[in-house]
Structure 1
Amino acid sequence: MRVLRAILLVSLALTATACSKFYTYTGPEVTRVVVDKGARKMYLLHDTQVLEQYDVGLGFAPAGHKAQEGDGRTPEGEYRIDRRNPNSSFYLSIGIDYPNEEDIRRARDAGVSPGGDIFIHGRPWKNRKGGRDWTAGCIAVSNAEMRDIYAMVRNGTPITIRP
């Protein structure tokens, strides 16, 4: 009876681990994330070596740099990964430190809010079959891809978002 109980407990533990959305990554450090908006691609790099590449969805108005809150654009420029949300409404998410000082200055000069809360994230259930560009300015990947990205990319990693 004790052996059966032990086997059952080990089986449950292995099943819970296999179903977890949190992975451990032990490969080369991701030293930069690059997003090519035109190609709808995101690359995780170790120095100049591409470790992974993903197809991405962008804001619902993808052309051009994010200028103000609600414009549906994904920012362009140099940023950093600055936070993580394991309880995101979008499965998992990692934050981008938009707006930077230049974004804030441009928005202030235009008399608008620059917006914020720009993330790389997965797809919530309601957007599981949505089109390519459906976010409010974020960068979207599949949930399976987001599990890998969440494990691989650390806070402080630079991210370049190109037109």
Structure 2
Amino acid sequence: MRKRLIVLAIVVVSLFAYTKLMARIGSGSLPPDAPQEQQADLIRVYKSERRMVLLKGDVPISTYRISLGQAADAGPKHQEGDEKTPEGRYEIDWRNPKSMAHLSLHISYPNPDDRRNAQSHGFPPGWGLFGNTHRLWDWTDGCIAVTNAEMRDIWARVPDHTPIDIMP
């Protein structure tokens, strides 16, 4: 029995290490940009529904199930480490092709209002990262997470400076 547990532990640790390594090195190439007519001009996140929608005008062009911060339903993010997901209007301000989570898109959190609010309470505001991995439960520290395949699709469809509305 003890030997089986040791073998199981080795398998689990090996799979975890392999997953982390593959996420780090990725597939070797970035996804190509989608054609202009398939690119979003707005992202809308519905935290309570765990849903993210890419829109072109008022027309949804893609919808994703998401994972959020473990305290996402307790209101907007106020400080680093509170495990909440920000609420409000931001934009995709830069991309990280070498993210520890395969690929990631950064949102412009904290904005000046977020910084002022955090400073008035005497704590750091934290950061906002639009990352990726599984969506079985809320596990992030406030990031919006999707699968690697979905992240490749989003990467191709979302140009820099695309606005993102994060709703309660």
- Output the TM-score relative to the length of structure 2: 0.79
Aligned 8 A contact 1:23 1:147 in 2: no
Segments of 5+ residues of structure 2 without an aligned counterpart are 1-26
CA distance, structure 2, for counterparts of residue 122 and residue 161 of structure 1: 17
**Which of 37, 49, 63 is the aligned partner of 1:53?**
63
Give 1 or 2: higher helix fraction. Answer: 2
Whether 2:127 is the aligned partner of 1:122: answer no
Kindly tell me the number of residue pairs found equivalent between the two proteins.
140
Q: How does 1:67-78 map to 2 (within 5 A)?
A: 67-78=78-89
Q: Offset at 1:21?
A: 4.7
Query: Which residue is equivalent to 1:93?
Result: 104
Aligned 8 A contact 1:68 1:113 in 2: yes
- Counterpart amino acid of 2:119? R
The superposition leaves residues 50-103 of structure 1 with CA deviations (integer Å, 9 ceiling, x where unpaired) of: 000000000111121001110000000000000000111011100000000110
Aligned 8 A contact 1:23 1:148 in 2: no
Secondary structure of the residue aligned to 1:53 is strand
- Counterpart amino acid of 1:37? K
Aligned 8 A contact 1:120 1:138 in 2: yes
Aligned 8 A contact 1:40 1:55 in 2: yes
CA distance, structure 1, for counterparts of residue 122 and residue 153 of structure 2: 39
CA distance, structure 1, for counterparts of residue 91 and residue 30 of structure 2: 23
Aligned 8 A contact 1:45 1:51 in 2: yes
Structure number with larger C-alpha Rg: 1
CA distance, structure 1, for counterparts of residue 141 and residue 28 of structure 2: 29
CA distance, structure 2, for counterparts of residue 51 and residue 134 of structure 1: 27
Root-mean-square deviation (Å): 1.6
Whether 2:29 is the aligned partner of 1:24: answer no
Whether 2:116 is the aligned partner of 1:105: answer yes
- Output the TM-score relative to the length of structure 1: 0.81
Percent identity for Structure 1 against Structure 2: 44
- Counterpart amino acid of 1:25? A
Secondary structure of the residue aligned to 1:135 is coil
